[in-house]
Structure 1
Amino acid sequence: MRSSAEAWKRINNTALHCAGRTGPQYHNTTGCQYLSRYSFSENFLKERRCLSSLLSEQAATSLVTMSELTDLDSVYITTVLEDTVDQLAILGKIMPQTFEGRPDANEMVGDEIGKIIDSQKQLESKYEGLISKRAELRAGGRKGDANHLRATEEEISSVVGGIRHATQTFSKSLKQSPLTSDNLGKMQGDRQFLQDVLSEAMDEITLEKTFMSLIQSVTAERDKKAELQNTILKEEEGRKRIRSLQRQIQNVKVELEEEIQQRNEMIAHLKDQLQEMKAKTSMEGKYVQKDAEVAVNQVQKRCMLSEKQLKDEIELIKKKIDEEIRVNQEIEQYLKAHQSELEEKVDYWMEKYDKDVDQKTHQLEVLKASKASDLARLQELTKLYAEYEQVVVEDRIDKEKIRRLQEQELEELKSTVKLQSWWRGIMVRRQLGPYSKKKKKKGKKGKKGSGKKKGKKKK
C-alpha cells in the first residue's frame, strides 16, 4: 500500500509538471506566461514521453503488487487526476490559436533565444575554464593529477556535447518559429490527448478500481510511436535509397553525356577522316589516271623501241643465215676435197692394224713360251733353295748342340773346380789327409805310451 501511494504520488507530481502548477502560483499565471514557459513543442513532447514511461513503469509495478486498488487509493488518485484534467481543460481554454501579428511575440521569442544564447555562453565560458585547467594539470606533472586530468577530460567532453546540443537547438529555433499556428495546434493536440487519457483512467479507477485504460493508452501510444518511428526510418531509408538512385541516375547521366560527347567527338573525327579520305581518294584517282597515262605512253615507247630492236635483230639474223649458208658450202667443198685423202688413210691404217696384230700375236706366243721355261726354272731353283735351306738348318742345329755341349762341359769343369776347392778347404780346415799335423818323436816309452793314449783320447 505504501509503495502504491508513493507511485501515485510520483504520477501526480509528473502530471502537475506536465499540465502546469497548482495553487496561487498557477492562478496568477496568464496564458502568455505559460506559453512562454513552454514555447517550444519539443519540451512538451519530452515531458509527455517522460509521463508515458513513468506511467508504464508504475502501472507495471501496481499490476505486480496488486490486482485492484483500494477505495482510499482510488479516491486519492481520482482527486489528483481530476485536478490535473481540470488544469489541462483550463490550459486549453486560455491558450490562443496563434501569436503571429501580436506585438509581444518577438519579445517572447527573443527571451527564449536570449536564454539559449546565455546558456550557450555559460557553456563556452565553462569550456574555456576547463581547457585552461587541463593545460595547468598537464604542465604541473604532479602525482595524482592523472585522475584530475581524466575527470577534466570527461567534463570537457560533456560540455562539448552540451554546446553541440545548444547549437542545434538554437539553429532549430532560428529556422522555425514556435509561435506559429502549427506548433500551437500540435501542443493543443498533445494536451487534449493527455486530458482524454487521464479522464478515461479516472472514470475506470472510480468505477472498476483499475487503470488498465491508462496502461492500454500508454501501450497504444508507444506502439503508435514505434510505428511512426518505423515509418520515419522507412522514409529515411527510402530517401537514402532515392538519393542513392538519384546519384546513380546522375552518374549514369554523366556517363551517358560523356559517352555521347565521346561518340560525337568520334563522329566528328570520323567525318574529318572521311573528308580527308575523299580528298585523298580524289587526289589518288587523279594521280593514278596520270600515272596510267604515263605508263601507257612508256609502254608504247618501249614497244616501238622493242619493235625497232627486233627488226634490227631480224636483219642481223638474215645476214648471219646468209653467212652460215656460205660457210656451209665452203665446208662441204672442203670436206669433199679431203674425203679421198681420208679414205686412203683409212686403208693404210687398216693394213697397218692387221700387220701389227700379227706381230703382237707372235710376240705374245714367244712370251708365253719364255714364261713356261722361266716357270720350270723357278720351280727347280725353289726346290734347290729348299734343299740348301734344310742343310743350313741342320748345320745350325749341329752347331747349337756343339755349343751347348761345350757350355755344359765348361760348367761341369767350373763345378768340379769349385767342389775340389771346397773339399780342399774343408780338408785344410779339418786337417785331413795330407794336411793333417805331423806327430812328434818321443824320447821315452812311457811318454810315447802316454802320447798314444792322448792321441786316442783326442780321436
Structure 2
Amino acid sequence: MMSVDVLIACAVLQDHADQLSVLGNIIRPGAETQQRTELHLKTAQLMARSSLSDFTGELHKSQKQISIQESLLTPDNLAKVQRDRQFVSDVINGLMVELQEENTFQSLFSAVGEDRKKKVQLLDIINREEEGCLRIKALQKQLLDIRKQKTEECERLEELGAYLREQVQNMRVRTNRQEKFVKSCAEQLVCQGLKLSSHKENELEDEAGMLQERIEEEKNVHMETEIFLKRQHANLREKLQFWIQRYEKDMEEKEQEISALKNKRNNSHARIQELSKKCRDMQEVIIEDRMEKEHLRAQLEKEQKERGAATKIQAWWRGTLVRRGLRSPKKADKSKSKAGKKGKKKKK
C-alpha cells in the first residue's frame, strides 16, 4: 500500500507531466533553454532533500518562473528548450514509476548524475576543441615558417642553379679549349711517335743484321767446341780406363797387405794373451809373497808385543817383590838366597 504523501507526489508529478506535454505541443519541437534546465535540476535537488509537501511548493514556484521566462526566449533557443522539456518529462515519468513501485527517488539521482556526466563530457569536448584550435594555429604558424624557409631555400637554390649554369658554361669553354690543345698535342705526339718508330725500326734492322752475324759466329764456335769436347771426351775415356785398371791393381795389393796385417795382428794378439797370462801368474806370486810377508810382520809384531808385555809383567812383579822386601827383611833375605840359588843353577 502506498502512503498519502506518495500519492500526492505522484499526482503532482502527473500534473507536471501533463503540463510539459501541453507545453511541448504548444512550442515547436526541439526548443529549450539552459536556464530552464537549471531550474528543473534545482527542483530535482529540492525534491531529494525536502519532504514531498515542500517539493510540491517548490515545483509550483519553478513552474511560475518558467512561465515568466518563456516570454523572454528567442527562436534560436526553442530547440534547447524542447530537449530540456523532454528530459524533465522523462525524469518525471521515471520518478512516478519508481515511486509507485519502490517508494524511492534513485532514478532522479541517476538522471541528475548522468546529466552532470554529459556536461563534463561536453566541457571536455570543448576543452579538446580549444586545444585543437590552439594546436591548429601553432601548426599554421609552423606551416607559414616552413613556407617562408622553403621560399628562401628555393630562392637560394635558384641563385645556386644560376651560378652552376654559369660555371657549366665556363667549363664548356674550358673543355673546348682543352680539347683543341689536347688534339694539337696528340697530333704532335703522333708525328714524334712516327719519327721515333721509323728511327727505332732502322736501329732494329741494324741490330738484326748484327745479331745474324753473331749467330753465324756462334754456330762456328759451337762446331769447334763440339769437336774439342769430343776429343776431350775420348781422352777422358782412355784416362778413365787407365785409372780403373790402376784402381783394381792397387786394390789387390792393398788386400794382400791387409791380409798380412791381419796375420800379424793375430800373432801379436796370441803373444799378448800369453804375456798377459804370465803377467797374471806373476801378479798372483807377488800377491802371495806380500801376504806371507804381511803375515810374518804381523807375527813379529805380536811377538814383540808379547815380549813387551812379559817384561812389563816381570818389572811389575819385581817391583812388588822389592816393595814386599822392604816391608819384611827376613822374607827379603830368603828371597835373595832363593834368587842366588836359582842364579847358580842357571849358571851351572
**TM-score normalised according to structure 2 size:** 0.49
Higher helix share: 2
